[in-house]
Amino acid sequence: MTLSSVEAATASAPARERVDRLRAAAYRIRHHALNMGEVQGQGYVGQALGAADMLAAVYADQLNYRAEDPHWADRDRFLLSTGHYAIGHYAALAEAGIVPVAELETYGSDDSRLPMSGMSTYTPGMEISGGSLGHGLTIAVGMALGLRLQGSASRVINFLSDGELDEGSTWEAAMGAHHHQLGNLTAMVDINALQADGATNTVLRTEPVTEKWESFGWYTQRVDGNDVGALLAAFDNIASVSGAVGRPSVILCDTKVGRGVPLLETREKAHFMRIEENEWQICRDQLTAGYEGTASA
């Protein structure tokens, strides 16, 4: 059975309360990320702000987990391959109640459970040690296959970045997932059009990305990754389609670096953003003003 993403895009619009709950979660994730960035005076804050809506959709809507028992056998697995996005992931883990909010201020400090790059041995809820790009999806494929062999209903979600699509191992894993008909696997790709050496389309052009994933046999949707309603609809489509036909699914998420904070959205795009001491409060104020504006819209 084959289904194109167009035929399958049938889910009705997510309910208003569900969308509002996610907007609120994304706002708090962004706020936590700014606070963590300020502790270090720097960090991958632009990425965390850009990916906050994706992380909110995962943790506040999709993932089945027990905050008090991060190793619960029946949990869904969220794998962060992009270790440098850990700041955003910690913010989401705090929002999920897995990491105490007060602990976020230890981010990147000696003896902290929250190192600058995600480490599974340090942090509750961090399933893998990412950072060396291109490994997340390979691990996710093995995990999804293993869970299925065990008769588990758990899902695996792997978060990748557009720069990570440069890695050949990602595409080997994509082939493997299709071969093994892993309907319990979803990839989310943060397409923020940026990577370490500059704009993605100047470093190594990955477009047309949608057609690539489709040709690898994945149930593929491309959405505005800063629109929580669109993200929820994409997940709803996956629930109604891809598991049933045993196809792995991918949500390609176009996002904006620094999203939610105009000062950072309009700054020259940089993989590692410098934010001056006096700017952090401005960032928080802009974030809150923007959120309160959209929340009452």
Ligand X SMILES: Cc1ncc(C[n+]2csc(CCOP(=O)(O)OP(=O)(O)O)c2C)c(N)n1
From CA 37, how far away is CA 44, in angstroms rounded? 8
Query: With respect to ligand X, which residue has the nearer C-beta, 69 or 207?
Result: 207
Query: With respect to Mg ion, which residue has the nearer C-beta, 163 or 248?
Result: 163
Binding partner selected for residue 260 from Mg ion, ligand X, none, CB under the kind-specific 5 to 8 Å limit: none
Of the residues 38, 53, 95, 162, which one makes contact with ligand X according to CB under 6 A? 162
From CA 25, how far away is CA 60, in angstroms rounded? 7
Interface segment toward ligand X; rule CB under 6 A; list 94-102, 173-181, 194-202, 280-288? 194-202
Is 199 a binding residue for ligand X by CB under 6 A? The answer is: no
Is 271 a binding residue for ligand X by CB under 6 A? The answer is: yes
The single residue listed with the structure tokens 């990916």 is: 51
Of the residues 117, 138, 192, 249, which one makes contact with Mg ion according to CB under 5 A? 192
Minimum Å gap between C-beta 193 and ligand X is 8
Is 134 a binding residue for ligand X by CB under 6 A? The answer is: yes
Is 267 a binding residue for ligand X by CB under 6 A? The answer is: no
Letters for 140-179 (x = contact with Mg ion by CB under 5 A, - = none) are: ---------------------xxx----------------
Q: Measure Cα distances from 13 to 16, 58, 221, 240, 252 in Å.
A: 9, 17, 15, 14, 19
Which residues sit opposite 186 in a β-bridge?
157, 249
For residue 168, the surrounding DSSP H or E stretch is helix 168-179
Q: Do β-strands 42-43 and 273-274 pair in parallel, antiparallel, or remain unpaired?
A: antiparallel
Residues 105-144 that bind Mg ion (CB under 5 A): none
Minimum Å gap between C-beta 102 and Mg ion is 31
Is 225 a binding residue for ligand X by CB under 6 A? The answer is: no
Minimum Å gap between C-beta 205 and ligand X is 13
Question: How buried is residue 123: exposed, middle or buried, by Cβ count under 10 Å (0-12/13-18/19+)?
Answer: buried
For residue 48, the surrounding DSSP H or E stretch is helix 45-57
Binding partner selected for residue 67 from Mg ion, ligand X, none, CB under the kind-specific 5 to 8 Å limit: none
From CA 28, how far away is CA 140, in angstroms rounded? 28
Is 53 a binding residue for ligand X by CB under 6 A? The answer is: no
Question: How buried is residue 178: exposed, middle or buried, by Cβ count under 10 Å (0-12/13-18/19+)?
Answer: buried
Look at residue 254 and give its three-state secondary structure: strand
Is 133 a binding residue for ligand X by CB under 6 A? The answer is: yes
Query: With respect to ligand X, which residue has the nearer C-beta, 82 or 154?
Result: 82
Q: Given the rule CB under 6 A, which residues bind ligand X?
A: 47, 82, 84, 131-134, 161-164, 192, 194-196, 271
